[in-house]
């Protein structure tokens, strides 16, 4: 991480949710820089979140955050974007951390389990998908990609949208390639939601996602449907017919064969 491409961030739609936080810096942030931009985020364990040198961590990653607020942050893109997401979606990140913490307390010595796997999947490569038109969500669930991205191109940003949550997704978007796919958390919203500015949309979604995590909605990875997100209008420079016809990327939905008689 040797440069800080603010022009690229500003002109790439996917980075819009974290752009206000990226704009705080004119160069890659150091640990000293992180101390100057505290958002006063508190974990459910009562600790204030800080982005610190991993060498200062003395406990398992999630335990250290929950109990002491220390988020191990390497000075690389992956962890830098993670810190940006903490600032952009603080309630959701706090709720995810609490999910991991309580799952670990309840299953000492056991395997991670489906719930923590789902939480990690969303944390790394997740999208929040607000929608006001149920038919558009159904197109995504059914893998009707041409209908969703081409026929209904004008619906993006007005009836459906995809806001990046996963920090690994932000990292991948620095050098995108066909094949990139995220996992979606659909959130039904009123039509008026799409008339709000992005900051208000983000805060509204952050509240809803955090509440749903705390209520135990997320239990397994299959709850998060896939999204080949380079198909979102204006997210890839060559969105021609051949691009959308690529079934290696825009895959049809798998069907389950009925059991033999």
For residues 78-103, give the mean pLDDT: 97
Convert the pLDDT of each residue in 216-240 to its tens digit.
999 999 999 999 999 999 999 999 9
Task: Give a yes or no: residue 244 inside a domain.
Answer: no
Task: Give a yes or no: residue 102 inside a domain.
Answer: yes
259 has pLDDT over 70: no
Percent of the chain residues past pLDDT 70, beyond the cut: 95
For residues 242-250, give the mean pLDDT: 96
Distance CA 142, CA 140 (A): 5
pLDDT of residue 253: 85
pLDDT of residue 179: 96
pLDDT of residue 44: 97
Sequence-separated (6 or more) residues with CB below 8 Å from residue 46: none
Q: What band does 38 get if pLDDT is binned at 50, 70 and 90? A: low
Q: What band does 111 get if pLDDT is binned at 50, 70 and 90? A: low
Q: What band does 254 get if pLDDT is binned at 50, 70 and 90? A: confident
For residues 90-97, give the mean pLDDT: 98
Higher pLDDT, 31 or 256: 31
Task: Give a yes or no: residue 33 inside a domain.
Answer: yes
Convert the pLDDT of each residue in 56-66 to its tens digit.
999 999 999 99
Task: Give a yes or no: residue 1 inside a domain.
Answer: no
Distance CA 24, CA 37 (A): 8
Q: How many domains does the chain have?
A: 1
Task: Give a yes or no: residue 24 inside a domain.
Answer: yes
- 203-212 contacts, C-beta under 8 A, 24 or more apart: 205/89, 205/128, 205/130, 205/163, 206/88, 206/89, 206/90, 206/91, 206/92, 207/91, 209/89, 209/91, 209/92, 209/95, 209/128, 209/185, 210/91, 210/92, 210/94, 210/95, 211/95
Task: Give a yes or no: residue 259 inside a domain.
Answer: no
pLDDT of residue 10: 96
Q: What band does 107 get if pLDDT is binned at 50, 70 and 90? A: confident
Work out the mean pLDDT of the chain and round it to a whole number.
Answer: 94
For residues 186-197, give the mean pLDDT: 97
152 has pLDDT over 70: yes
pLDDT of residue 110: 61
For residues 133-154, give the mean pLDDT: 97
Give the structural domain span for 117.
8-231
- What are the beta bridge partners of residue 188? 131
116 has pLDDT over 60: yes
Higher pLDDT, 253 or 120: 120
For residues 95-118, give the mean pLDDT: 87
Task: Give a yes or no: residue 207 inside a domain.
Answer: yes
Task: Give a yes or no: residue 82 inside a domain.
Answer: yes
């Amino acid at each position: 991480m040797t440069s800080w491409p603010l022009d690229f961030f500003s002109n790439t739609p996917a980075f819009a949710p974290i752009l206000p936080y990226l704009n705080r810096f004119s160069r890659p942030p150091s640990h000293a820089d992180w101390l100057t931009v505290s958002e006063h985020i508190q974990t459910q364990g009562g600790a204030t979140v800080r982005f610190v040198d991993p060498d200062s961590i003395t406990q398992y990653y999630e335990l250290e955050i929950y109990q002491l607020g220390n988020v191990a942050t390497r000075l690389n893109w992956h962890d830098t974007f993670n810190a940006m997401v903490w600032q952009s979606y603080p309630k959701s990140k706090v709720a995810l951390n609490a999910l991991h913490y309580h799952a670990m307390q309840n299953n000492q010595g056991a395997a991670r389990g489906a719930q923590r796997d789902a939480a990690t999947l969303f944390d790394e490569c997740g999208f929040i998908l607000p929608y006001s038109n149920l038919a558009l969500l159904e197109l995504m669930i059914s893998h009707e990609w041409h209908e969703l991205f081409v026929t209904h191109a004008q619906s993006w940003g007005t009836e459906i949208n995809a806001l990046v949550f996963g920090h690994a997704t932000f990292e991948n978007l620095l050098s995108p390639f066909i094949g990139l796919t995220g996992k979606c958390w659909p959130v039904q919203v009123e039509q008026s939601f799409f008339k709000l500015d992005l900051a208000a949309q983000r805060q509204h979604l952050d509240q809803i996602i955090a509440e749903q995590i705390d209520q135990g909605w997320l239990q397994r990875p299959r709850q998060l449907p896939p999204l080949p997100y380079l198909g979102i209008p204006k997210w890839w420079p060559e969105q021609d017919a051949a691009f959308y016809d690529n079934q290696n990327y825009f895959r049809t939905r798998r069907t389950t064969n009925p059991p033999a008689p």
